Amino acid sequence: MKKITLVLIVSALLFTKQGQAQNNGAGIVAAAAGIAAIGAGIAAIEDMKERAELTGTQWILANHPELTSFSLKTLDFDGKKLKDMSNTTLLYFKVQEFTPSDNPQLDGKRQILFAFTSYGWINDYGIDFSKVRWYLIDGDEWMKMMVAYAKVSSPIKDETILKTKISSGKVVNRGVKVNGNMEVPFFKLEGDMYLVSDYSDEMKLVYNERTLGIFLKKTRDLVQMRRSSIIEIHDFLFDQNKVVH
């Protein structure tokens, strides 16, 4: 909230100086209204972020009692507008365990908490968490998902080879790159073509036009993951030398 306050103060000073230079009372009023609207939007996003992290924490406490010391954080709300968030179909939270101590370091197991949203999950009253489905996955489960996805979307069907390539590389829109080289090229498809992997009782993985789609069987929602999200999740789960805050 300190950042929000600083933004509002700086904006107010800038608009006030501009209004004085123009000697236009109406301009000052309009500027003040604009500042209020910006401040309200930022505050609303910050409040939603805090509520989402709290609800995610509550879900873990209720469903995973084995986690007794952990950190949970999402970056999905950072720099976003309310309109952007209302169209969001997937949020993810970085979860990492740690050893209790003074000023502890995040040194334990890393996992990702997925929050799949349905239409109308953000309304005039805020977030409707009854329209959110939660899934907690670790590195092993993520690797299985990526192998299943690459297997259906590329000509390579050997799961051992795919796992090796994905472990040492990155899944991008066009395939799997290792040291900058395309080692597992994905098929080129038209926009109305789909390749489907019946991954589990809960979801199907869908390859379409260089995107990773996840179809939830229970809600019949199809969500698409951004390439940047795939890379960030992969790096978080497998780059153990990366500093996590």
pLDDT digits (tens, 9 = 90+) for 194-209: 999 999 999 999 998 7
Residue 51 confidence class, pLDDT cut points 50, 70, 90: confident
Instruction: Considering only residues 159 and 244, tell me which one the structure prediction assigns the higher pLDDT.
Output: 159
**Is residue 35 a contact partner of residue 27, using CB atoms and an 8 Å limit?**
no
Mean pLDDT of 24-33: 48
pLDDT in tens, 1-10: 444 444 444 4
Most confident of 45-49, 186-190, 224-228, 238-242: 186-190
- Predicted pLDDT at 5: 45
Angle between the N-to-C axes of helices 159-168 and 139-153, in degrees from 0 to 180, rounded to the nearest 10: 120
Q: What is the pTM of this model?
A: 0.75
- Tokens 């309009």, residue located: 30
Is residue 176 predicted with pLDDT exceeding 60? yes
Greater model confidence, 90 or 193: 193
| Exposure string over 171-203, b if 16+ CB within 10 A, otherwise e | beeebbbeeeeebbebeeeeeeeebebebeeeb
Q: Could you give the CA distance from residue 73 to residue 133 in angstroms, rounded to a whole number? A: 17
What local confidence, expressed as pLDDT, does residue 28 receive?
Answer: 46
Smallest Cα–Cα separation from 109: which of 240, 242, 243? 240
Average pLDDT over residues 81-86: 54
